[in-house]
Amino acid sequence: MSLEKHSADVGVTEDGVDYDELEALLGERVIDRETHLNAEGFVVRPDEVEGTLELLREEAGFDHLSMVTAQDYPDRYESIYHLTKYDDRTQEVSVVVPTDPENPTSESAASVYKTAEWHEREAYDLVGVDYENHPDLRRILLPETWQGHPLSSDYDQDKPQLVTLDEHVNPLAESSKDSESDTMFLNIGPHHPATHGVLHVKAVLDGEQVADVEPDIGYLHRCEEQMAQQGTYRHQIMPYPDRWDYSSAGLLNEWAYARVAEDLNDIEVPEYAQIVRTMGAELCRIAAHMLALGTFCLDIYGDFTAIFMYAMRDREKVQNILEDLTGQRMMFNYFRLGGVVWDLPEPREEFFAKIRDFIDDLPETLEEYHDLITGNEIFQTRTINTGVLEPEVAKQYGCTGPVARGSGVDYDLRRDDPYGYYDELDWDVVTEDGCDNFARLLVRMREVEESAKIISQCVDLLEDWPEDERNIQSNVPRTLKPDPDTEVYRAVEGAKGELGIYIRSDGTDKPGRFKIRSPCFNNLHSLEAMAEGEYVPDLVAALGSLDVILGEVDR
């Protein structure tokens, strides 16, 4: 191995990753190699996880732990760490950790990647793998009293369960031994207007300042992964992505499933359909960001004020367009594997005119928002320099999307790992260096402008598309049965960030394992880093600026 090489560049080549070099770097630790469709996987022993991941991060520059997937096979439990780089998304590697079925224990990665903490808790909760040295291995989505691990194969779904309605205890109490502790414990949620759904934030206050905060999630855990594992690839899974991020980001989510399933089954998508997809997805992004903006201001101003109504008005316009396109207001179910379900509505001129009107009005609308929101002194005082998230911290927590870009992390899958029609169009990735609540809001507002740019280019293209070349779907077999044990992890840029799906096929027409990497899950984890030392209203603002959708956090 050449020592003069820059330390974080091991294995970097012009066109991808040199896996042999990585294997040499890891040396003895690698006991086997697996090929997944997206990347090579190195199989390591359960007691080598920490060392392996640390080497990969420090020496090879894999600083982004996208997701941890756990699953059980007849003969073993397995955890897969999906690694990639913030600087170059196309470089990926997986670390596969098999453990024995009787006593599934493997080493935790939480000391290397902060984000692994939550992912491993989830893996423990749903699949039942035990992670050694994990700082706080508890259930995360299901209630503490739950019996069994629902995504493991020996789970009996008909067993009765008990759920308690406990008062919550002061989590700092044990650290200060006297009974008269200086801190106060405050529950926020799960029913609270500032939590954006059913989130429970356990906050410990020292005076007025937040000493400790722990989001307690799982109040909307709708078993999405189980639902997807029970559906057939061709039609039965597509409706569910709409319901992960339900802030009208439906088409973006559908794309996540479409992309992974198309890669898994080797399906081409006609160019025309790609443009329709791109246009629809960006309309969804606008709708989602409008909601984020409206509810963020709701958090800051504390009432259903004009700004919320303005944002809803503009969402209403986008939803009308999307309704024309897909036939539904929210749960579009518009994508199909290999394309979309139907062509643009007739008369096309009217539809295009409607989009154009919306796009033309948008600069003025955004000007209004800037007058109302970003120009407001009180708003600035409330948001600038509150909820600070440094870029390195954001990377540790695996933050993506507007949250990462608001911290200056230039990471956008539409550009870094191109799919659809994005690389043919002219647009920019928006970043802000503020690292605070204000920056995240600005990123969203500027992204709306970029989306509008993309949409208008798509409209131009679609308008001139020859009538006999409007292929909305390619030929897809009625039943899809990928080869057994094909594994793939693919992600798209959802409204909140990297939305990825891992699928392992078991040779049937349903996925053997379907794991969702939701951006909100990682983003919400970073709340503890943003809120500590802040006041409660700033905690609420920070939560609002993260723009979490609980349906996607809990899945």
Contact positions toward other proteins, by CB under 8 A?
141-143, 145-147, 150, 155, 157-166, 190-193, 196-198, 218-224, 226-227, 230, 239-240, 243, 246-248, 291, 304, 308-309, 312-313, 315-316, 329-331, 550-551
What the block records as the tokens of 438 is 């204000």
**Degrees, nearest 5: CA angle 246-251-255:** 120
SS3 state at 328: coil
How crowded is residue 378: how many other Cβ atoms within 10 Å of its Cβ?
Answer: 9
Residues 109, 65: contact at Cβ < 8 Å? yes
Smallest separation, CB 247 to other proteins (Å)? 6
Residue 194 C-beta: closest distance to other proteins, Å: 9
- Which of 79, 195 has the CB closer to other proteins? 195
The CA-based angle 44-45-48, given to 5 degrees, is 85
DSSP H or E run through 319: helix 306-326
Q: What is the smallest separation between the CB atom of 330 and other proteins, expressed in angstroms?
A: 6
We find the least distance from the C-beta atom of residue 15 to other proteins, in angstroms, to be 42
Contact of 436 with 385, CB cutoff 8 Å: yes
Tokens 């949250």 label which residue? 403
Closest to other proteins by CB, 153 or 304: 304
Query: Residue 331 CB, nearest distance to other proteins (Å)?
Result: 6
In the bound state with other proteins, the residue whose beta carbon lies nearer, of 98 and 218, is 218
For residue 202, the minimal CB distance to other proteins (Å) is 14
- Please, what is the minimum distance in Å from the beta carbon of residue 285 to other proteins? 15
Residue 372 · residue 364 · CB < 8 Å: no
User: What is the smallest separation between the CB atom of 205 and other proteins, expressed in angstroms?
Assistant: 20
Phi-psi region of 128 (alpha: psi -120 to 50; beta: other; left: phi over 0): left
Spell out the residues 6+ positions from residue 98 whose beta carbon is closer than 8 angstroms to its own.
43, 46, 76, 77, 78
Q: Which is nearer to other proteins, 330 or 429 (CB)?
A: 330
Our CB check for other proteins shows the closer of 197 and 434 to be 197
Residue 112 or 541 having the CB closest to other proteins: 541
Residue 354 sits at φ, ψ, to 5 deg, of: -65, -45
Among residues 133 and 230, whose Cβ is nearest to other proteins?
230
> How many alpha carbons fall within 13 Å on the CB side of residue 486?
20
Q: Is the Cβ of residue 243 or residue 354 nearer to other proteins in the bound state?
A: 243
Least spacing, CB of residue 380 vs other proteins, in Å: 26
Asked whether the beta carbons of 534 and 542 are under 8 A apart, the reply is yes
**Least Å from the CB of residue 220 to other proteins:** 6
| Least CB distance to other proteins at residue 314 (A) | 10
Is the Cβ of residue 5 or residue 191 nearer to other proteins in the bound state?
191
Task: Using only the alpha carbons of the chain, give its radius of gyration.
Answer: 23
Q: Which of 504, 553, 511 is nearest to 78 (CA)?
A: 504
Distance CA 253, CA 257 (A): 7
Which residues are registered as beta bridge partners of 201? 188, 215
* Nearest CB to other proteins, comparing residues 118 and 438: 118
Question: Quick one: which H or E segment has residue 77?
Answer: strand 77-84
User: How far is residue 288's CA from residue 294's CA, in Å, rounded to a whole number?
Assistant: 10
Separation CA 78–CA 327 (nearest Å)? 41
CA distance 190 to 78: 33
Nearer to other proteins, 14 or 158 (CB): 158
